[in-house]
Amino acid sequence: MSKPEIACWFDFASNYSYLSIMRLAQQDEVAVRWKPFLLGPIFKEQGWDNSPFVLQKNKGDYVWQDMPRQCAKYGLPWRQPTAFPRRSMLAARVALLGEAQPWMAGFCTRTMLANFAHDQDIGSEACIATILGELGLDAAAVLEAALSPDNKARLHARTDEAKALRIFGAPTFFVGPDMYWGNDRLDDALAQARIAGG
């Protein structure tokens, strides 16, 4: 038996990605291939210059009613961010470096908590440096690597890969070729991963 595997495509600015990242980090039955990417270019292709939760006011207002209920259901902390969506490019670039590192899950959960439980600006180098320091990493060195042209190109390629996979939102999960969109499909995707891996 191989270990079940799921790919998780997410954006640190996405509140529903927050739910899934926390839930995936709390389990170890299914291996997670982390796929940080940027939703902005995906939305731009649909003609949107911002999150649909901003552009569609009724839906957006609903989301902020939905989130505390969802967080209560999953036992997760919640504070509505005073800025939304927050700039997630820096966090995504750091996460690209961490994908295969033991600190990846810790970085993702701490960054999500900073945004959605502690109302911190994850777009700032200071915030990300603090998180990296808490993980026992050399924050200056990681940030330098994250901001390198090579790594910038990698994030661009990752987001192109998301477009090629026809991803239209986040979080999005893949189990083999099968796409599952949204935190509401995480249980279905995990169940499918167990079948596929078992």
Name the minimum Å distance from CB 195 to a copy of itself.
Answer: 12
Tell me the per-residue interface mask from 32 to 51 with a copy of itself, x by CB under 8 A, - otherwise.
Answer: --------------x-----
Under the binding rule (CB under 8 A), the answer on residue 167 touching a copy of itself is yes
Q: Which of 66, 119, 138, 161 binds a copy of itself (CB under 8 A)?
A: 66
Helices (H) and strands (E) in the chain, counts: 10, 4
Check residue 99 for interaction with a copy of itself (CB under 8 A): no
Distances (CA, A) of 100 to 54, 88, 104, 143, 146: 33, 20, 7, 17, 15
Please select the residue that binds a copy of itself; options are 1, 73, 126, 149, rule is CB under 8 A: 73
Which residue, 65 or 82, is less far from a copy of itself as judged by CB? Answer: 65
Q: If binding is defined by CB under 8 A, does position 28 make contact with a copy of itself?
A: no
User: 31-36 and 178-181: which strand pairing?
Assistant: unpaired
Distance in Å, CB of 54 to a copy of itself, minimum: 13
Q: Does residue 2 touch a copy of itself according to CB under 8 A?
A: no
Residues 6+ apart with CB under 8 A from 107: 94, 95, 98, 131, 132, 135
Q: Measured between alpha carbons, how far is 27 from 173 in angstroms, rounded to an integer?
A: 16
8 A C-beta contact, residue 79 and residue 18: no
- In order of 108, 122, 125, 143, the CA distances from 130 in angstroms are 13, 10, 8, 11
Residue of 82, 126, 149, 166 interacting with a copy of itself (CB under 8 A): 166
Summarize as ranges the residues that interact with a copy of itself (CB under 8 A).
46, 56, 58-59, 61-62, 65-66, 69, 73, 166-169, 178-182, 184-185, 188
